[in-house]
Amino acid sequence: MNEPFVALVEEPLRVEDYLTRLPGDSAVPSNTIGAVQWFLGITRGRTEDERQIQKTTDLWYEAHATMAIKEMNRLASDAVSRFELQGIVLVHAIGVVPPGQTSVIVGVAGRHRTPMLDATAWIMENLKRDVPIWKRETFHDGSQDWIHPQ
């Protein structure tokens, strides 16, 4: 088991920077890893609502940083037990993330494929509910919205 790797990073993410943080990568061989799974959340340049499609020109993420790191570590360690992970990477971008760039990366490694896919879904659902990070969208007319899903 690798130590969970959890971070907030003040720029758009690149998965290349994290590949060696999981066992199963060629740089970190392991005898019992059968599946490695990387999920990348990408910011979209268009937001649809009932009335119109607004073009998003700028995306900004803010965190309650110390609490976000605590929640991400709690999530990571819960996921390790629940899905028998042998490695986990959980990274979120903070600040400006232009549309089309990566705002979140979830990497997991373990024995079998299906639990790794389930772990990815579970981690993302919990992250989107509990980790205190907020997105602000700026539209082409200059208006801004903090996103607070109901």
Partner 1 sequence: MHIDIELFAGPRAVAGVDCIRVEFDATSESGSCDAGEVKRLIADQYPELATYAAQSRLAIDEAYVTDDHVIDLGQRVALIPPVSGG
Residue 133 binds which of partner 1, a copy of itself, none (CB < 5-8 A, kind-dependent): partner 1
Point out which span in 36-44, 61-69, 131-139, 141-149 binds a copy of itself (CB under 8 A): 36-44
Residue from 66, 73, 114, 144 in contact with a copy of itself (CB under 8 A)? 114
13 lines the binding site for partner 1 (CB under 8 A): no
| Whole-angstrom distance, CA of residue 67 vs CA of residue 42 | 23
60 touches a copy of itself (CB under 8 A): no
Residue among 57, 70, 95, 99 that touches a copy of itself (CB under 8 A): 99
Q: How many residues bind a copy of itself (CB under 8 A)?
A: 37
Write 34-37 long-range contacts (CB < 8 A, 24+). 34/110, 34/111, 34/112, 34/113, 35/109, 35/110, 35/111, 35/112, 35/113, 35/116, 36/107, 36/108, 36/109, 36/116, 37/107, 37/108, 37/109, 37/113, 37/116, 37/117, 37/119, 37/120
Residues of this chain that bind a copy of itself (CB under 8 A):
12, 14-16, 19, 24, 26, 29-42, 44-46, 99-102, 109, 111, 113-114, 116-117, 120-121, 124
